[in-house]
Structure 1
Amino acid sequence: MRFPMIRAFSARRNRAALRLLTRRFSGNRRGVAAVEFAMILPAMLAIYFGIVETGQAVMIDRKVTQLSRSLVDLTSQASTISNTEMSNIFDAAQTVMMPYTVVVPKMSVHHIVIDSARVARVCWSEERNSTKFARGTTVTVPDDVRLANTSIMMAQASYDFTPVVGWIIKGGAFTIGGSPIYMRPRLGKAGGTASIEQVERSGVAMCPGFS
């Protein structure tokens, strides 16, 4: 008769221990909060770094636009540009990218002459870390600047941006900028077969006459 009493006592003790454990677990909010925080932490980090990287990209986009404007502004102020002056223009314009100087931006400047038929062709082209156009290349420019027997300066700049957390943006680096900006020569000289006002490049014949 003693053994059934022992089993009943053990069962009551187990049930009491289980109730106590349940009360302790349900009353411990800190453990629940820790589990919930661990579950949402990856999403919070992704959102945080996404906001940071987006802010960086927006700032770089503004810098690249300023870089293009600086390039076209500096070249359009010249009447003749030597090799040294062209290098100095690239150096000076590039300073607007600070503090984003880890990556060298792509920069190019093109002097475009529009003939009497309103065909726009490259007279000369210079670049740094980019690609320049061959002399005589036909290019497309907006109608509002494509005036017969005139010339324009065109500058382009871009920046290869790599997010710090590359997995946020699939594919890693992407290019910011690249849109052309145009400006008329302000201190140009008349030259070429049609006496069109243009910015002369040292050692390069003035246009038209693209050969």
Structure 2
Amino acid sequence: MRALVKIWVDARRCGERLARDRSGLAATEFAFIVPLMLLMFFATVEISTWVAVDRKVTLVSRTLSDLVSQATSVTDKDLPNVFLASYGVLAPYPTDTAEATISEIYVNQAGVAKVQWSKTATVAQSGGNPTAKFAAPKRKPGDTLTTLPDGLKVKDTYLILSEVNYQYTPAVGYFLAKTGVKLADESYTRPRQSLCVLYDTQICPTL
């Protein structure tokens, strides 16, 4: 009987000591919290970068239309520099997945918006230096622009339209699609120095 009592007392004392022991509690709590902390950290970094790149894409679009609208005419020699200056806004993010299009739009007397000229360019690396390379045009002269906002449909006026597409690839593909997210923006600007911005013509076209 005494043996059973002794066992019971010893067991109770061990249980009390175990209940008071907190030496491994922090490690246990840390093991539970670490996955959640890492999840929140990487999600914050990834989404913050995504938002920052999206803002950069908007700035590229505005810069491109703004630079072209300040000219009275442009040529194939001028436009690569304009594209490169606009793409420079993306730094420090890579530009190899960026594509931009600059177009001049004419709103005729019927209120129909028509493309007068259009150029599309991507960024390529040549000898370690970025260069703008013309790509297949997104729009063609004479195409009707159906997405022009009603507030910009002023008859017999010209608009400079810039469109930028960017494929953002996340560093950690658990929070966004591993293939990336397509970011896009567009900007309209009216010519500032003349009625239109000439390209390969001496008079403002009205296709």
TM-score, normalised with respect to structure 2: 0.81
Q: Secondary structure at the match of 1:201?
A: coil
Q: Deviation string for 1:117-168 (max 9, x for gaps)? A: 1110111111123752011110121122211111100112232222222112
* Matching residue of 2:93: 100
More displaced 10-residue stretch of structure 1: 98-107 or 150-159: 98-107
> Residue 46 of structure 1 contacts residue 168 of structure 1 at CA under 8 Å; is this kept in 2?
no
Alignment of structure 1 residues 161-172 onto 2, 5 Å: 161-170=168-177, 172=179
Query: How large is the RMSD of aligned CA atoms in angstroms?
Result: 2.5
What is the TM-score with the length of structure 1 in the denominator? Answer: 0.79
Aligned to 2:72: 79
Asked which structure has the greater CA Rg, the reply is 1
The one of the two structures with greater contact order (alpha-carbon pairs below 8 A, sep at least 6) is 2
| Alpha-carbon distance in 1 for matches of 2:96, 2:40 | 25
Identity of aligned residues (%): 32
Deviation at 1:101, TM superposition (A): 2.4
Which residue of structure 1 aligns with residue 38 of structure 2?
45
DSSP-derived class of the 2:206 partner: coil
The number of residue pairs the alignment matches comes to 193
Please report how far the alpha carbon of residue 199 of structure 1 lies from its aligned counterpart in structure 2 after TM superposition. 1.1
- State how 1:175-194 maps to structure 2 within 5 Å: 175-176=182-183, 178-188=184-194
In structure 2, the residue matched to 1:150 is 157
2:205 partner letter: C
Hey, what does 2:196 align to over in structure 1? 198
Q: CA deviation at 1:203?
A: 6.6
User: Do structure 1's residue 134 and structure 2's residue 158 form an aligned pair?
Assistant: no
Alignment of 1:22-41 (within 5 A): 22-41=15-34
State the match for 1:159 in structure 2: 166
One-letter amino acid matched to 1:86: L
Gaps of 5+ in 1: 189-196
Q: Which of the pair is proportionally richer in helix?
A: 1
